[in-house]
Amino acid sequence: MAQKSIAKNYIYNLTYQIIALITPILTMPYVSRVLGVDHVGEYSFAFSCVLIFAIIGNFGFSTYGQLTIAYFKEDKALLSSNFTGILIAHFVTVLISAGMYFIYILLFDSNNLLYYVLFIHLIAIAIDISWFYQGIEEFKTIAIINTVTK
């Protein structure tokens, strides 16, 4: 693989981080005005619950995957087999976490529709492979994908 430019990767990562910080500052006043105080609180609580299950589902795979991919990035066969193994294991843990999330919804919450809509966040965690691109040092791809999805 060609040598990646640290400066370019730094600029791409910095740009994405700045966009990730500025976006909520620009959108939150509008969302607060449209939804109102009560609904913003309901959304925030529901999203915090989803994040707990997302953390359980992610289970450190981002860090482990990034380190493993970086270690094997020169050997295509090992890279491919490790990527597949990590992706399957990550998917299984997110699937278990999603099952726990649905049990939580059924047992403890009355506003089910909001929780079902926020299930999309767990799906996004399951299909997110930004750790792979970090491991192969493709920060341009990460910055573009994450900026578009934000």
> pLDDT tens digit string along 18-41?
998 998 898 889 888 998 888 899
pLDDT digits (tens, 9 = 90+) for 107-147: 887 667 899 999 999 999 999 999 999 999 999 999 998 88
Per-residue confidence band for 91, with pLDDT thresholds at 50, 70 and 90:
very high
| Cα–Cα distance measured from residue 48 to residue 46, given in angstroms and rounded to the nearest whole number | 5
Q: At what angle do helices 76-108 and 6-58 cross, to 10 degrees?
A: 40
54 and 61 Cβ atoms separated by less than 8 Å: no
Residue 131's nearest CA partner among 57, 50, 58, 48 is 58
| Cα–Cα distance measured from residue 87 to residue 41, given in angstroms and rounded to the nearest whole number | 34
Domain ranges of the chain: 37-137
Helices (H), 3-150: 6-58, 61-72, 76-108, 112-127, 130-135, 139-149
Range with the lowest mean pLDDT among 9-23, 49-63, 98-112?
98-112
The per-residue pLDDT for 2 is 53
pLDDT exceeds 60 at position 76: yes
Whole-number mean pLDDT of the chain?
A: 90
Per-residue confidence band for 6, with pLDDT thresholds at 50, 70 and 90:
confident
Residue 135's nearest CA partner among 92, 79, 81 is 79
Please tell me the pTM assigned to this model: 0.85
The per-residue pLDDT for 4 is 67
